[in-house]
Amino acid sequence: MTQLSADIIKRWEKIFPQIKPVRNRAANRNYLEKDLKLIFYIRDLIYIHKLSEDEVKEKLKEGLPNDDSDNPAYLKRILAEIKMEVKEIKKILEE
């Protein structure tokens, strides 16, 4: 979904303590909506805006932007969710 490897996300958890996944009994990470928004935001800052990790830390002190409507990561995630729903509907209709 994020197009990031698990290693990168785990590394970011150490660098950016704002990412706090919940762990289940098997110690698997479960990311809440707020964590995913933060991961998408960090990904955009690093890969699109070409900010360093230190610059991202400074940006995160300001908080997340409130309006996601023009955030490419947000729009991609919404599109991915819509595609999944369409596939499920198509499967139901084909049965």
Question: Coil, strand, or helix at residue 19?
Answer: coil
Q: Are 36 and 77 in contact (CB under 8 A)?
A: yes
Q: Which DSSP state fits 24? A: -
Model confidence, pTM:
0.64
Which residue bears the tokens 């991915």? 80
The whole-number pLDDT of residue 70 equals 64
2-31 residue pLDDT tens: 789 999 999 999 999 999 998 888 888 988
